[in-house]
Chain A
């Protein structure tokens, strides 16, 4: 059953001055997501609306936005789960806006210690014994680099030098499973003023994470590791 839903969408172009909100009525289905509606608007109402998306199933991490003020992936944020009424869509906070809902992700990559981790092969055991069921297969590689944890973080909002939750969760993941890597530089990186100790434990990152990385818990574990002398266990 097709109905219409109102949207307030953040618009910005570097050429045409200050940002604004445009209002659209979009045709939606009961199962439609925020991304479905944004794509419908782009196809049927305004082809100049710039949005990021790729996989459409919470795997690539490109479509992070703020919906009614809360961080989420547009592709899995269902309209039916939102409060009734007009839906406000804004780009992620704490990133420079390129245009409309598209942010510049360069700073996300810059926060990580070198060498950047994210393409290391996921650990898949050759024989699938599942001691604790499938939950046991949670891996850092679950991070989809969407940036929502940085958008939600109250410390990043006031201090851009803070490395932020994604990179710290990565550091903790490396300590959990170094695979031969020298963890000394990672511990020193994490112990710096702008790293593990800068977190205020608001846990907004874990709330925002769409991929079950739980950065806040990992930051707490990382602090325990740093105070215990760094054996990572």
Chain B
């Protein structure tokens, strides 16, 4: 039986890029949407990333699925969020013989994933980016770009709000409303007023990234998430205009992203139990400088602006990963009823900033199927409002 979209109320827990994109998708389909976030929107993982719009090339060799997701979303986001990206492209730079051995497989992987990849000579690369390590042996140009890690996702919030979604920050979920194995909403605490309340919903979506295991436990179900933090270092000054990547298997300090007047060096990777209080290990910061300066020597001397950590929500069971590098960057929607757990409760997790729209589409399809709502996704062709509309609405 189909039900009218406006009769269905969905509660989204988590105001990161995933939750925002899901609110936008469901609001476009005509559903009633409430999103709750315990702090400011994008304050968990989304806003802290280095600002890379992935071309997918980083995953071209080892993670074909993620590579394809990234290039598709890369093309789509440029269309629906014009003005949110520096159209600066990226270079993958080979420094050592070992890097050169990685090159043929890299080019094949890019071709197999439909990622445009143009091989450049060292001279061509240095003409584009004079501050690169002059010892480079080769470079490959790919359609990476720089985004604003907060303002690009905020456009999904702005558009969802305009389409009627209720977006509530400083609203923390204290527990789920459950009866006979069915989730029917959440008990929340409003940090602005100090009041407690209940929000009732036909379906509740857990979009809390690295916190999704904790929230799933409130429904007595397991989400195999490995919070995997990475350290990033912001240097003063633009050391490059393109995104500079090291041409080798994913490793520490192998990317420099120019972001306004800063250059961001990332990242490291380890695995934690609790995504709350990550700390910034000083040896990781030093590794960003050591490894980053192999790409751009000026990284060694540029003044530091900030160093911080963010936790990726990688999918994997305990014991499966030591550093997090082994885990796929793809995403997963879990219908907990289908897995014998709670009814009325769906988790969307994994993924990355670049794939937020695609994650939302897949999850919204599951949500609509479960609710009997027959509406198709319209986010591929809907141009998003500017981020400032979020404040002006």
List residues of chain A with CB under 8 Å of any chain B CB. Answer: 13-16, 31, 33, 39-40, 43-44, 47-48, 50-60, 62, 75-76, 98-99, 102, 105-106, 108-110, 112, 116, 118-122, 124-125, 127-128, 130, 134-135, 137-139, 141-142, 144-145, 211-212
Contacts and interface: CB of A to CB of B under 8 A. Distances in A.
Chain B residues touching A, majority SS: loop
Chain A residues touching B, majority SS: loop
Nearest to B308: A56
Contact of A109 (B46, B148, B392): B392
Interface stretch (B52-60, B122-130, B361-369): B122-130
A97 to B, nearest CB: 11
A118 B387 contact: yes
B392 A53 contact: no
B87 A124 contact: yes
Contacts, number: 159
A58 B87 contact: no
A119 B192 CA distance: 30
Given A105-B391, A125-B241, A59 B82 contact: no
B88 interface: yes
Contacts of B195: 15
Given A57-B234, A60-B150, A50 B192 contact: yes
Interface stretch (B175-183, B204-212, B257-265, B339-347): B257-265
B193 A14 contact: yes
A75 B192 contact: no
B149 A59 contact: yes
Interface stretch (B2-10, B21-29, B37-45, B68-76): B37-45
Contacts of B43: 52-54, 62
Nearest to B240: A128
* 4 cross-chain pairs, A with B, having the tightest CB-CB distances, nearest first: A54-B47, A56-B308, A57-B306, A119-B83
Contact of A211 (B240, B261, B280): B261
Given A15-B195, A119-B155, 12 more contacts: A15-B193, A44-B277, A56-B47, A57-B306, A59-B51, A59-B234, A75-B306, A119-B84, A120-B83, A124-B87, A128-B129, A134-B237
Interface string B106-149: 00000000000000000000011110000000000000000011
A75 B309 CA distance: 12
Given A31-B280, A54-B48, A99 B129 contact: no
